[in-house]
Amino acid sequence: MAVNTKVEADQNAPAVTRILAEFVATHPSKGWSDAVEHEAHRTFLNWLGCAVGASQHEAVQAALRAVQVLEPATQAMIAGRQERVDIANAALINGISSHLFDFDDTHLKTIIHPAGPVCSAVLALAELSGASGRQLIDAVVLGIDVACRIGNTIYPHHYDRGWHITGSTGSLGAAAACARLLGLDTDKTTMALGIAASQPVGLREQFGTMTKPFHPGGAARAGLMSALLAREGFTASPRAIEAPRGFAQVVSTKFDWNEITDELGQRFEISFNAYKPFACGIVIHPSIDACVQLRGQGVTADNLVRLDLRVHSLVLELTGKKEPADGLQGKFSVYHGCAAGLIFGRASEEEYDDAIVNREDVVATRRKVVAIVDDTIDEAAVEATATLKDGKSVHIRVDHAIGSLQRPMTDEDLMAKFTAMSVPVLGAKKTRSLIQQCWSLSDAGDVRALVAQAS
C-alpha cells in the first residue's frame, strides 16, 4: 500500500466551467485570424485522413461488431466504411479509427491529440442536423480550445499520474464542440461541460492495446451525449471543472487556472496543433527525417555501408529495439524507422506492415544503423552521417523534424499523407473530392456533401 498524500484543495478557483461555457456559447463565428481558420481546416483534413486510413483495421471491425449488437439507427457515417450507425456510436468508432495508427495531430504543449474526440463527435452531430461547414469549423476551433486549455491547466502532472490526456480532456472538448453546434446558451453549455467532467476516459497503461484508440472514441461519445443531455435540461455542477472535488483537482495535482483564462478568445490553441509525418512515436521523427533527406542526396540501401546517428537519450530509451519482429515492434525501433526513410523516403502506416519490417533489404539496412546517445543533442534534433561504399560520407543535422511547429507539414504534405491513407480505401476519385471539400469546408452549406464522399 502506498502512502496517502493529501493534496491541499484550492477553494478559490475562478469559475472556469462557466467562463469556458460563456466563451463557447457566445464567441463570434470565425472570431479569429485567417491563420487559425486555416489551421482548423488542416486539423480536420488530417483527422479525416487518419480515420479513413485505419477504417479497415481489426480494432474498428471489433468495435463495430460490438456496436451492432445494439441494432443502431443508420444516422451517421463511419469514415471509410459502408455501415452507418447512430451518432453516438459513429463518434465512438471514428474516434477509435482516427487514433489507431498513432498518426493523428498533436497539441505539442500537452501531447493531446485533440481532433479525435472533437471532430468525431461534432461531425456525427453535424451530419444528423445538416449543419453547415461554417458551424462545424466554429465548433472544432472552440472545442479544441477547451480541451487544450484544460490540458494546459493540468499538464504535465495529470499525464505523469497516468492519465491518457487525449481522452480525459477530450470528453470536455467534445462536449464544448457539440454544445456549440447545438446552439446551447451559456447555462446549458455549463451543464454540458459539467456532465462531461464526470467522464474522463483513458489510462496510459493501455498504450499498445486497442483501448488506447478507444480513449478518443469514448471521449467523443461521452461529450456528444453530455451536450444532448444538457439540451434536455439535465443538470450538473456549474463548478464541475474547478471545484475542490471537481475534474481538475481530482485528476491532477497541478491546476494553473490562468491557462484557461489568459487571452481566452484571442489566442487559439489549435494554432499549436501539429501533424505527424511518420506513423510512429514523435521521438524518432528527427532520425527518419534525416534519412529521408539523405535519400534525397543520393544515399541508397545499396551504396550505404554504415549510418551513424547521434541522438537524445530518450530515443534509445523508448525506441531502441534493434530487431523488431513485426510492425508494432517496428514503431519502437529507430533502426527500422531509418531503414524506411532511406528505402521508401517515408514512414507511413504501410512501412509498418509486418511484411515490410521483415523484408530482406529493410532488415539489412536497419542493421547498418549505429545509434549512440549524445547529451548535447536536443530531443527534437539528430546528427546523421552516412558512410558510402565509395568511401565518401554524407552528413545531415536536423534541428527540428518535419511536422514540428518550426517546420510544419505543408498543405501539400498533408494532402500527400491523406492521399496515401485514403486511396487504398476510397479510391483516387473520392479522395481528390474529399481533399477539395475539406479545404472549402467552411463554405459548405451542408456538411453532408462531404460526408457522402467519406465512406
Closest CA to 386 of 340, 342, 435: 342
Shortest CB 280 distance to its own copies, Å: 19
Of residues 45 and 122, the one with the C-beta less far from its own copies: 122
245, exposed or middle or buried, with CB in 10 Å at 0-12, 13-18, 19+? Answer: exposed
Of residues 87 and 141, the one with the C-beta less far from its own copies: 87
* Range in contact with its own copies (rule: CB under 8 A) among 221-229, 261-269, 282-290, 389-397: 221-229
Instruction: Tell which positions 68-127 bind its own copies, by CB under 8 A.
Output: 69-73, 75, 86-88
Q: Which three cell numbers stand for residue 324?
A: 523488431
Shortest CB 213 distance to its own copies, Å: 10
**What CA dihedral angle connects 261, 267, 161 and 178, to 10 degrees?**
90
Instruction: Tell which positions 146-165 bind its own copies, by CB under 8 A.
Output: 157, 160-164
Of residues 3 and 28, the one with the C-beta less far from its own copies: 3
Of residues 203 and 301, the one with the C-beta less far from its own copies: 203
Distance CA 418, CA 411 (A): 10
| Residue 6 contacts its own copies per CB under 8 A | yes
What Å distances lie between residue 15 and 12, 190, 204, 246, 261, CA to CA? 9, 10, 29, 12, 10
* Range in contact with its own copies (rule: CB under 8 A) among 49-57, 58-66, 368-376, 399-407: 58-66
Largest CA distance in the chain: 75
Q: Judged by CB under 8 A, which of 52, 54, 112, 197 binds its own copies?
A: 197
Q: Judged by CB under 8 A, which of 49, 53, 170, 200 binds its own copies?
A: 200
Query: How far does Cα 181 stand from its chain's mean position?
Result: 21
How many CA atoms within 13 Å lie on the side-chain side of 133?
Answer: 19
**Residues 258, 28: contact at Cβ < 8 Å?**
no
Shortest CB 369 distance to its own copies, Å: 30
Site string for its own copies, 296-315 (x = CB under 8 A): --------------------
- Count of residues near its own copies by CB under 8 A: 76
Beta strands in 291-354 (DSSP E): 304-311
Shortest CB 260 distance to its own copies, Å: 12
* Range in contact with its own copies (rule: CB under 8 A) among 130-138, 190-198, 374-382, 426-434: 190-198
Shortest CB 111 distance to its own copies, Å: 14
* Range in contact with its own copies (rule: CB under 8 A) among 56-64, 326-334, 414-422, 431-439: 56-64
User: End-to-end distance of the chain based on CA atoms, in angstroms?
Assistant: 50
What b/e sequence results for 37-59 when a residue is b if at least 16 CB atoms lie within 10 Å of its CB, and e otherwise? Answer: bebbbbbbbbbbbbbbbbbebeb
Closest CA to 118 of 249, 320, 273, 7: 273
**Residues 53, 421: contact at Cβ < 8 Å?**
yes
Q: Judged by CB under 8 A, which of 120, 199, 287, 453 binds its own copies?
A: 199
Could you please report the per-residue DSSP string of 231-272?
HTT----TTTTTSTTSHHHHH-S---THHHHTTBTTB-GGGG
Site string for its own copies, 125-144 (x = CB under 8 A): ---x----------------
Instruction: Tell which positions 358-397 bind its own copies, by CB under 8 A.
Output: none
